[in-house]
A and B are shown apart, each in its own frame.
Chain A
Amino acid sequence: MSTDTTLDNPAASDFWAGFRLGVPIFVASAPFAVLFGALAVQNGFTEFEATLMSATIFAGASQMVGIDLFGQKIAPWLIVFSIFAVNFRHILYSAAVGRRIGHWSGWQKTLGFFFLVDPQYAESERRGENGQTIGFVWYMGMATPVYVFWIVNSWLGARFGSLIPDPHALGIDFLLPIYFLGLVIGFRKRPLWLPVVLASAAASVVAYHFVGSPWHVSIGALAGIVLAAAMPLSAEARAAYDEPPVDQTGESV
């Protein structure tokens, strides 16, 4: 908690500590980036447009939805809206992680929020949970390899995508659920974890059938969050809330 991350040497080691966390993330996301690039070109994107999408949106699932809809000749505004709907969960991430980065400067927040993807958020929460400060340098250290290789691998997929063997046999289409399951399990020590997981799972499956994708994400998430918020607060939780760490005071952008 008390380490000062603005000194030169600690900053360098902070960057590499974050970088090391970013390595498994970009390894896990590499197949999706390559697959995205390949599918984008198949759906009428140029190499440049596919790479641009990865560089500016930087959100795999929504990019896949976007190119899929584009292949179906759907109205442009509907494609944009679908990308927004898939990424709507990031509003919750920024609300949650925003509590932990009150010490960042305005431009650090402006830049940092751009990189707030699922694993980036998950690792930041885990660090905060362990009582460690989420330094800007550490955060960017993790974001750098993930972002750079996301773009590079998208371009590789767009360029050489026709060389990829059967994605089904390689299991590429199902790697994402496995990866997200891993993230869910990583949070199992949190209070109310099992009830939240069960509520969100049930609600998202029901919503998937009756409302459709991508709304099952927002509806399912809301079910778990409302459940957690409605539960009676434990004495320890109350005590923890009454004595917040000094660096988490509400500082606005």
Chain B
Amino acid sequence: MSQIVWIVLAGAVLTYLTRCGGHLVLSRFSRIHPRVEAGLNAVPAAVLTTLVAPAAVQAGPAEALALVAAALIGLRGGMMSLFVGGSAVLIVGRYFFG
């Protein structure tokens, strides 16, 4: 097998460990402390924000406009309209701002 295949398979094993690891650790405790619970409830917003923030800070005018438009649409509409609307603003913005 090629070196790439070994790299891919090793990456796959480690990725799977992250996808069950948190549960394997947490399931050893029979009761979950309210503060841990509060922390876990913050996980989606906390993690997903870190996937947006650096990109938003480095954004040019077209990207910034797209994020603002997406956020405004998201406050009223659903995920799909947000995604389509934000992408449309991005493409139009890049046409004008390069």
Q: Bound pair: A and B? A: yes
| Residue ranges of A at the interface with B (Cβ–Cβ < 8 Å) | 24, 28, 44-46, 49, 52-53, 56-59, 61-62, 66, 70, 76, 79-80, 83-84, 87-99, 109-110, 113-114, 116, 118, 121-122, 125, 168-171, 174-188, 190-193, 196-197, 199-205, 208, 213, 216-217, 219-231, 233, 237-238, 241, 250-253
| Residue ranges of B at the interface with A (Cβ–Cβ < 8 Å) | 2-12, 14-16, 18-32, 34-57, 59, 63, 66-67, 70-71, 74-75, 79-80, 82-83, 86-87, 90-91, 94-95
Q: Which of B15, B47, B91 contacts A83 (CB 8 A)?
A: B15
Whether A24 contacts B43 by the Cβ 8 Å rule is no
* Cα(A220)–Cα(B53), bound, Å: 9
Whether A181 contacts B74 by the Cβ 8 Å rule is yes
Whether A121 contacts B15 by the Cβ 8 Å rule is no
B7 CB, nearest partner CB in chain A, Å: 5
A238 CB, nearest partner CB in chain B, Å: 7
Whether A183 contacts B44 by the Cβ 8 Å rule is yes
Evaluate whether A171 and B23 lie within 8 angstroms (CB atoms) in the complex, with A84-B14, A233-B35, A241-B37 already known. no
Interfacial chain B residues near A184, Cβ < 8 Å: 44-45, 48-49, 52
Whether A228 contacts B41 by the Cβ 8 Å rule is yes
Whether A52 contacts B8 by the Cβ 8 Å rule is yes
Whether B15 contacts A91 by the Cβ 8 Å rule is no
Give the nearest-CB partner of B29 in chain A: A250
Whether B35 contacts A229 by the Cβ 8 Å rule is yes
Evaluate whether A221 and B22 lie within 8 angstroms (CB atoms) in the complex, with A178-B83, A182-B82, A250-B31 already known. no
Interfacial chain B residues near A179, Cβ < 8 Å: 83
Give the nearest-CB partner of B22 in chain A: A95
Whether B32 contacts A237 by the Cβ 8 Å rule is no
Pair count A-B, CB < 8 A = 288
Q: Which of A53, A89, A98, A176 contacts B26 (CB 8 A)?
A: A98
Whether A174 contacts B63 by the Cβ 8 Å rule is yes
A172 CB, nearest partner CB in chain B, Å: 9
Give the nearest-CB partner of A193 in chain B: B45
Evaluate whether A24 and B79 lie within 8 angstroms (CB atoms) in the complex, with A187-B44, A197-B49, A228-B38 already known. yes
User: What 13 new A-B contacts, CB under 8 Å, besides A89-B50, A200-B50, A224-B46?
Assistant: A56-B11, A56-B12, A80-B7, A94-B23, A98-B27, A176-B55, A178-B66, A185-B82, A196-B42, A205-B54, A220-B49, A229-B35, A253-B24
B92 CB, nearest partner CB in chain A, Å: 9
Give the nearest-CB partner of B3 in chain A: A76
Give the nearest-CB partner of B5 in chain A: A49
Q: Which of A87, A170, A192, A208 contacts B15 (CB 8 A)?
A: A87
Interfacial chain A residues near B86, Cβ < 8 Å: 178, 181-182
* Cα(A175)–Cα(B4), bound, Å: 28
Whether B83 contacts A182 by the Cβ 8 Å rule is yes
